Structure 1
Amino acid sequence: MPTQLAADAPAPQNLPARVPLHNRPLGILASARAGQKNVLALIPEIATRQPMLSGRTGKRWHMVMDPGALKRVLRDKVEDYPKSTVTKLILEQAIGDSLFVAEGAEWLWQRRTAAPVFSHRNVAALAPVMTAAAERSSARIAASTGRAADLFAEMVAATFDVISDVTFSGGEGFDRAAVHRAIEGYIGHAAKVSVLDLLGLPGWVPRPGRVMAGKAMREMKRIADDAIEARRKAGRRNVPDLLDLLLEGEDPKSGRKMTTSELRDNLLTFIVAGHETTALTLSWALYLCAFDPAIQAQAHDEARRVLGGRAATQADIARLPLIRQIIDETLRLYPPAAFLSRTAQVADALCGREIHRGDTVILPIYALHRHHMLWENPDQFNPARFVDAKAIDRFSYLPFGDGPRVCIGANFALQEAVIILATLLARHRFSLVEGKAPKPVMILTLRPEGGVWLQVEAAQAGM
């Protein structure tokens, strides 16, 4: 894979935080060092101006930014481009052979079983949990009025409240703090690219970071297993949560139901992805609103007009178009899954270039979303791009992927993000803290290194 480590150029003052992309490729060891610090350092600046790049760093790789080629990889020939070996090595310790990493028939039956769980009706029924979490978050933020607060830490807390409430609503035997610590430890230590990954060594060769995180991950799985078994005995809730729905779910074709370990791996997938990605989206959205006070004021007015003094609900979402546009633009500038990779299973051609069996095909979503051939002023924060979202080329904007493996929880995440963001912008005003700009760094997801520190004030009418 390519990486470029020339001297960082300072970000323009009129643009929000971005990853400095470079143009001096390095070899395997330097790539591994860069990937340990920030996976996005593997993307060259030229990737934001070309449809495709190819090279060799240990293995042959191809970096694809062309919407037509992305459609081929993600939709038309999806079985020929499964998730890469590196992706599986990073994730399997945490989420086993769950829906996120399974392939072929194993993936298909899990998807058929889980898809009804995330139907519009079921997701809408979970909205009151999101509204309650927005209320609690707003109250905690109000306690910081007049001073700076780390809104990333707060959004992680708020979204973890949501995902744990809609997954294990009774909380029976479910140690939320232990699970949260294990997830954070795994992302911080085990979910990093290893030089052994880049060399293509098999998974049985130990990766030190993943060995260190093993004990916490085993404890997290034990906690989840115990909670699942307790629910089997207790039976479903009056208002079913995700665990109830998955326990009842079965593959409509085979009648197969998930075992405890399969349920656990998928629930942990939903917990990790469901709170982490939404927390990041909300954190970056608040940063962008603080970066552009005029847009924040417009969003405040919209939210205040619709909500008055109450928290947002699912019924309000259709009347909050600017809030939704801010979320969409945030996902363009800071997509949580900003760097994907696949391994070609057959010979193929992309953009007229030969793809060999075994080649790594990289989908740098961060570069795609900031591509100069696809977006006007791509590094600028401009929610108006999404006034007519249908006018945007589908494969130019992929915050949740696409094709058969599009993120199963996308509607859940968007609903939660709009409800929480609208509630917070209606009640609070956020401004930047000098010297505390967040740094976009990707390990497993695109996180703000150092947090998102913003000055908090009570919102005033006509702010």
Structure 2
Amino acid sequence: MTNATATPVRVPLPKASAHPVRVPLVTEPWGILKSLQMARRNVLSIIPDLATRQPMVSGKTGKRWHMVMEPTAIREMLLDRLEDYPKSVVTKNLLKPAIGESLFIAEGAHWRWQRRAAAPVFSHRNVMNLSPIMTAAAERAAERITQAGPRAVNMLDEMVTTTFDVIGDVTFSGGDTFDRDSVHKAIDQYIAEAGKISLFDILGFPDWVPRPGRLMSGPALKEMKAMADQAIEARAARGHEGVPDLLDLLLEGEDPKTKRRMSTAELRDNLLTFIVAGHETTALTLAWAMYLVGFDQDVQDRARAEAQSVLQGRACTGDDVENLPFIRMIIDEALRMYPAAGIISRTAQKKDTLGGREILPGDTVMIPIYALGRHHQLWEDPDAFRPERFADRKAIDRYAYLPFGDGPRICIGASFALQEAVIILATMLSRFKFTPVPGKEPEPVMILTLRPDGGVWMTAEPA
């Protein structure tokens, strides 16, 4: 980053302790070409270290930018003046080819009616009704690990498989003709190639200017969208019996104000959004949680004791989640340290003042969720793994911890993701003792999501 400025504050030094892996942040000015080069390798690597110590950092890298870490200013962006800070052009350029004008990208009235139509899909009752699918996927994962024997297992791959099982069954429980492997491959290809930031994005070029990586991934995306359209139309014509799955609920959904229902294209874009977000982000949270409980065996032992006490040798269900508070704390702490969405980016629509800093129309205003979760003014010893921080969630500033965003655009599937993560982690820890493989420490790398590069390698012994 270049020309960074910040309001100086006094910051206490962190306590000396052994810490899990972290992203090395910027400590010196960078030019635009180096910023681009580093961003394509790891988006988080362009965050200044000052962003973990100051309330706001500003600069210019082709365009004016600001990073906001002050909770009051963040509240203004996400809640009080939401319309003045829509999702950034860069975010839309990265995601629009894959998920169109779905809930994640849409703005204004188009976003509001979709949100109203989709909100009942993720009601507490519907999420609880889907918990047996999560339980079954967790049980299959445990069986695969058992069958693997004493050899090392990449828990990142295992968690990706498990959460994709969940979202596949939750989405298409009727066995519709939908090639899951092809969908998974297309998603991974798009994230790997199209998700890398282009120089055109940093310079603010309009989205009609082609980005080479996104052109390369076009055929796979086109095929994936065609498959989704066919499955939606087949389900709409045939119907489905039993507990409604995600597709049923979306087909039935309508805006309570206008009675408008989603077209096939709108259903498809939102369905693909939920498939990507509903497995990728939860899988990464679980993989990081597995890394952390391997890092701290005392935490793992305490969590295992809780899980075994509650489950008593049976499968974990949705009804058990509220009785597993320490395992939930581990999930919360993993989300603080390694949020799947490491940066929220917005484009200012009008002149404003945030945290005493002037904001101009067109400025990129970011909330670096990764830096927010490691901010020295907001967290004690922020780079340390301490699940007990979340023993009293009311004591945590609501806008200091934003793994799912906040305000009207808070992640619609947050309760689904948390229930799934607790069920799967409790199942794993109740069955096995996990030990990290020496020399296989993961590296936190973010392209579109924050991944443990190199995997999370563990040996698993029966508990």
Relative to the length of structure 2, the TM-score reads 0.96
* 2:225 aligns with one of 218, 221, 225: 221
Post-superposition CA distance 1:317-354 (Å, at most 9, x none): 11111000000001000000111110000111011111
Say whether the 8 Å CA contact 1:3–1:22 is kept in structure 2. no
* C-alpha separation in 1, matches of 2:331 and 2:285: 7
* C-alpha separation in 2, matches of 1:273 and 1:108: 19
Q: Aligned pair 1:433/2:455, yes or no? A: no
* C-alpha separation in 1, matches of 2:147 and 2:444: 27
Residue 356 (structure 1) shift = 0.4
Q: Aligned pair 1:324/2:331, yes or no? A: no
Say whether the 8 Å CA contact 1:84–1:343 is kept in structure 2. yes
Q: Aligned pair 1:290/2:294, yes or no? A: yes
Aligned to 1:30: 34
- SS in structure 2 at match of 1:361: strand
Q: Aligned pair 1:47/2:63, yes or no? A: no
Q: Aligned pair 1:384/2:392, yes or no? A: no
* 1:268 aligns with one of 264, 272, 275: 272
Post-superposition CA distance 1:295-314 (Å, at most 9, x none): 10000000001112222101
* C-alpha separation in 2, matches of 1:237 and 1:208: 44
Aligned to 2:418: 414
Match runs of 1:364-375 below 5 Å = 364-375=368-379
Percent of aligned pairs sharing the same letter: 64
* C-alpha separation in 1, matches of 2:242 and 2:151: 42
Aligned to 1:95: 99
* C-alpha separation in 1, matches of 2:317 and 2:289: 19
One-letter code of the match for 1:328? D
Aligned to 1:246: 250
One-letter code of the match for 1:159? T
Aligned to 2:185: 181
Say whether the 8 Å CA contact 2:432–2:461 is kept in structure 1. yes
* 2:89 aligns with one of 85, 91, 99: 85
More displaced 10-residue stretch of structure 1: 263-272 or 236-245: 236-245
* C-alpha separation in 2, matches of 1:16 and 1:69: 29
Say whether the 8 Å CA contact 2:142–2:428 is kept in structure 1. yes
Aligned to 1:7: none
Match runs of 1:53-452 below 5 Å = 53-452=57-456
Q: Please list every run of at least 4 consecutive aligned residues from structure 1 whose deviation after the TM superposition is greater than 3 angstroms.
A: 1-4
One-letter code of the match for 2:231? A
Residue 22 (structure 1) shift = 2.2
Aligned residues: 452
* C-alpha separation in 1, matches of 2:3 and 2:249: 44
* C-alpha separation in 2, matches of 1:393 and 1:326: 18
Say whether the 8 Å CA contact 1:3–1:24 is kept in structure 2. no
Specify every segment of 5 or more residues in structure 1 that has no aligned partner in the other structure, as ranges: 5-11
Say whether the 8 Å CA contact 2:152–2:458 is kept in structure 1. yes
Q: Measured at CA, do residues 214 and 82 of structure 1 come closer, stay the same or move farther in structure 2, by a change above 3 Å?
A: same
Residue 236 (structure 1) shift = 2.8
Say whether the 8 Å CA contact 1:237–1:244 is kept in structure 2. no
One-letter code of the match for 2:92? K
* C-alpha separation in 2, matches of 1:308 and 1:49: 45
* C-alpha separation in 2, matches of 1:135 and 1:222: 32
Residue 445 (structure 1) shift = 0.4
CA RMSD of aligned residues (A): 1.2
One-letter code of the match for 1:134? A
Say whether the 8 Å CA contact 2:174–2:240 is kept in structure 1. no
Say whether the 8 Å CA contact 1:82–1:342 is kept in structure 2. yes
* C-alpha separation in 1, matches of 2:160 and 2:258: 38
Aligned to 1:9: none
- SS in structure 1 at match of 2:204: coil
* C-alpha separation in 2, matches of 1:310 and 1:285: 22
- SS in structure 2 at match of 1:143: helix
Say whether the 8 Å CA contact 1:98–1:265 is kept in structure 2. yes
Aligned to 1:8: none
Say whether the 8 Å CA contact 1:126–1:166 is kept in structure 2. yes
- SS in structure 2 at match of 1:253: coil
- SS in structure 1 at match of 2:382: coil
Say whether the 8 Å CA contact 1:2–1:42 is kept in structure 2. no
Residue 2 (structure 1) shift = 5.0
* C-alpha separation in 2, matches of 1:147 and 1:385: 34
Residue 13 (structure 1) shift = 7.7
Q: Measured at CA, do residues 394 and 13 of structure 1 come closer, stay the same or move farther in structure 2, by a change above 3 Å?
A: closer
* C-alpha separation in 2, matches of 1:428 and 1:411: 26
Residue 122 (structure 1) shift = 0.5
* C-alpha separation in 1, matches of 2:96 and 2:316: 37
One-letter code of the match for 1:210? R
Say whether the 8 Å CA contact 2:55–2:68 is kept in structure 1. yes
Specify every segment of 5 or more residues in structure 2 that has no aligned partner in the other structure, as ranges: 5-15
Residue 144 (structure 1) shift = 2.7
One-letter code of the match for 2:195? A
* C-alpha separation in 1, matches of 2:140 and 2:29: 47
One-letter code of the match for 1:69? A
* C-alpha separation in 1, matches of 2:2 and 2:426: 40
One-letter code of the match for 1:309? G
